[in-house]
Amino acid sequence: MHDIELRVNGHAERASVPAGMTLLEFLRDRLALTGAKEGCGIGECGACTVLLDRTPVTACLVLAVEADGLDVRTIEGEAADGELSALQRAFVDAGAVQCGFCTPGMIMSARALLLRSPHPSDEEIVEAIAGNLCRCTGYEAILAAIRAASGTGGEP
């Protein structure tokens, strides 16, 4: 077992985890943050995307112990005091959420994009979400949502 200390959505967390536990399992099973989903478990789908030190990673391919000392952000960190972030609101308004399975990962990839590029071009948006598969929307509504959220600031 390994003792780890990390920040998750601004809260300090301490835990003892086995080496083989993924960051995704830690978030879902230990912290009950079930927003990030396991679609494939092998880096293909992006449903497990979270931010590690402000940059998106697939949490299924990161060990919990690798996140020791780092800052993690998940979809649960988006809404503040029960209010959706501007980015979440844009997804709802654009009809960019259908079954919703891809949405938490999609929004975290979009969040990371807005953090590094507040007014992204369409090309940047497409590259940023290329690792987030969506079986429902056909992506157009998602592009529209991210375009609409452009300029609303990197922080939720």
Partner 1 sequence: MLGRFEYARPQSVDEACRLLAEGGRAAAVLAGGTDLLVDLRNGFRSPSLLVDVKRLGELQALKTRSDETVVGAAVPLNVVVENRELRKAYAGLSDAALSIATYQLRNRATVAGNLCNASPAADMAPILLVLDAELTVQNAKGTRAVPVATLFTGAKRTCLVPGDVVIDVRMPPLDGELRTAFRKQQRIRGHDLAVVNAAAAYAPSRATLRVAVGSCAPTPVLLEPFDTKGTSPQALADEVLRAAAAATAPIDDVRASAAYRRAVLPVLLRRLLADVVSGRGGGI
Ligand X SMILES: Cc1cc2nc3c(=O)[nH]c(=O)nc-3n(C[C@H](O)[C@H](O)[C@H](O)COP(=O)(O)OP(=O)(O)OC[C@H]3O[C@@H](n4cnc5c(N)ncnc54)[C@H](O)[C@@H]3O)c2cc1C
Instruction: State yes or no: residue 50 binds ligand FES (CB under 6 A).
Output: no
62 is a site residue for partner 1 (CB under 8 A): yes
**Ramachandran bin of 150, using left for φ above 0, alpha for ψ from -120 to 50, beta for the remaining angles:** beta
Long-range contacts of 124-130 (CB under 8 A, 24+ apart): 129/46
Residue 13's identity, in one-letter code, is E
Site string for partner 1, 98-117 (x = CB under 8 A): -----------x--------
Q: Which of 3, 5, 29, 44 binds ligand X (CB under 6 A)?
A: 44
* Tally: H helices and E strands in the chain: 5, 5
Interface with ligand FES, residue 62, by CB under 6 A: no
Residue among 100, 118, 151, 153 that touches ligand FES (CB under 6 A): 100
127 touching ligand X, by CB under 6 A:
no
